[in-house]
Amino acid sequence: MFGKNNGMKELSNSSEMETIIGPDTVLQGTLSSKGSIRIDGRLEGGITNASGVVIGQDGEVQGDVNAQSVIIGGKIIGNIAAIASIEILPNAQIHGDIKTCALSIAEGATFEGNCTMTKEKQV
pLDDT confidence tier of residue 120, bands split at 50, 70 and 90: low
What tens digit of pLDDT does each residue of 85-99 get?
999 999 999 999 999
In b/e form, how buried is each residue of 59-84, taking b as 16+ CB within 10 angstroms?
bbbbbbbbbbbbbbbbbbebbbbbbe
Q: Tell me, what's the pLDDT at 18?
A: 87
What tens digit of pLDDT does each residue of 27-63 get?
999 999 999 999 999 999 999 999 999 999 999 999 9
Quote the pTM value. 0.84
